[in-house]
Chains A and B, each alone.
Chain A
Amino acid sequence: DIVMTQSPDSLAVSLGERATINCKSSQSVLYSSNNKNYLTWYQQKAGQPPKLLIYWASTRESGVPDRFSGSGSGTDFTLTISSLQAEDVAVYYCQQYYNTPLTFGGGTKVEIK
């Protein structure tokens, strides 16, 4: 199984400041034949199901604010919220779809400082 490790477990950021969440996979999720990273990010607010933010590591889902961006390749990935808003308080998860079983990171909780 590909193990997804997120860091930090939680972070507190001031409104308008940058939040950076890391996700590391135990093996590369970059498929060399198409040069795509099989990595997605979700946002889960309290009491709600996860919501898709980004797929292919950096493609923003339609309707997702452009303050959310994904980057990275191979085994190391980052989700950046460029200017944190109050509505961004949530737990964020990465997930790989390079191999089954599909696996998720443990989550990163983002709060307002």
Chain B
Amino acid sequence: QLQLQESGPGLVKPSETLSLTCTVSGGSISSSSYYWGWIRQPPGKGLEWIGSIYYSGNTYYNPSLKSRVTISVDTSKNQFSLKLSSVTAADTAVYYCAADIRFLEWSTPRAGWFDPWGQGTLVTVSS
């Protein structure tokens, strides 16, 4: 059974870089069945997709965050990571990692829904 767990600092100073890692267990991050995604949720608000990565390293990002986001994968550790630079208080949120279901649409790979999700980690941006 696939499980994901986020880890990283819970407090980041403004203008610095937020760094989180997601460890995948119960399955291989090199599976062709998944992309691996990051989603965030500001306190009391809705969900925002940040970006996703395939085990080969192919990435796609939300254009609203693209200039500040880097997602990478380490297949040897079964982990993928998120870096978000130049953070402000608006980046305070619970950050989730999730398996992003990959399906084929007439042989073209597409990203789909998220299942399962990690428990999430609250990252607060404050000095």
* A binding-site residues for B, Cβ under 8 Å: 1, 31, 33-34, 38, 40, 42, 48-52, 55, 61, 93, 95, 97, 100-107
Q: Would A49 and B111 count as touching, CB distance under 8 A?
A: no
Kindly state the separation between the CA atoms of A31 and B112 in the bound complex, as whole angstroms.
Answer: 13
Q: Does B47 sit at the interface, judged by CB under 8 A?
A: yes
Leading 9 A-B pairs by shortest Cβ distance: A49-B117, A40-B113, A52-B115, A102-B49, A104-B47, A101-B62, A97-B112, A106-B46, A55-B113
Kindly state the separation between the CA atoms of A93 and B117 in the bound complex, as whole angstroms.
Answer: 14
Chain B residues with a Cβ closer than 8 Å to the other chain, count: 26
Q: Looking at A1, A42, A97, A103, which has the most chain B CB atoms within 10 Å of its CB?
A: A97
Measured between beta carbons, the chain B residues less than 8 angstroms from A42 are 114
Q: Would B49 and A105 count as touching, CB distance under 8 A?
A: no
Tell me whether chain A's interface is mostly helix, strand or loop, or mixed: loop
- Number of A-B residue pairs at CB separation under 8 A: 60
Q: Would B46 and A104 count as touching, CB distance under 8 A?
A: yes
Measured between beta carbons, the chain B residues less than 8 angstroms from A97 are 110-113
Q: Would B111 and A105 count as touching, CB distance under 8 A?
A: no
Once A49-B96, A49-B119 are accepted as A-B contacts, the answer to whether A103 and B49 lie under 8 Å apart by CB is: yes
Kindly state the separation between the CA atoms of A42 and B63 in the bound complex, as whole angstroms.
Answer: 23
Q: Would A104 and B96 count as touching, CB distance under 8 A?
A: no
* B binding-site residues for A, Cβ under 8 Å: 37, 46-49, 52, 60, 62-64, 96, 98, 101, 105-106, 110-120
Measured between beta carbons, the chain A residues less than 8 angstroms from B113 are 40, 52, 55, 95, 97
Q: Would B105 and A34 count as touching, CB distance under 8 A?
A: yes
B39 CB to nearest chain A CB (Å): 8
The residue that A105 contacts in the complex, of B46, B63, B64, with Cβ under 8 A, is B46
B103 CB to nearest chain A CB (Å): 9
Once A49-B120, A93-B46 are accepted as A-B contacts, the answer to whether A100 and B114 lie under 8 Å apart by CB is: no
B98 CB to nearest chain A CB (Å): 8
Kindly state the separation between the CA atoms of A66 and B118 in the bound complex, as whole angstroms.
Answer: 25
Kindly state the separation between the CA atoms of A50 and B37 in the bound complex, as whole angstroms.
Answer: 14
Kindly state the separation between the CA atoms of A52 and B98 in the bound complex, as whole angstroms.
Answer: 11
The residue that B46 contacts in the complex, of A38, A51, A107, with Cβ under 8 A, is A107
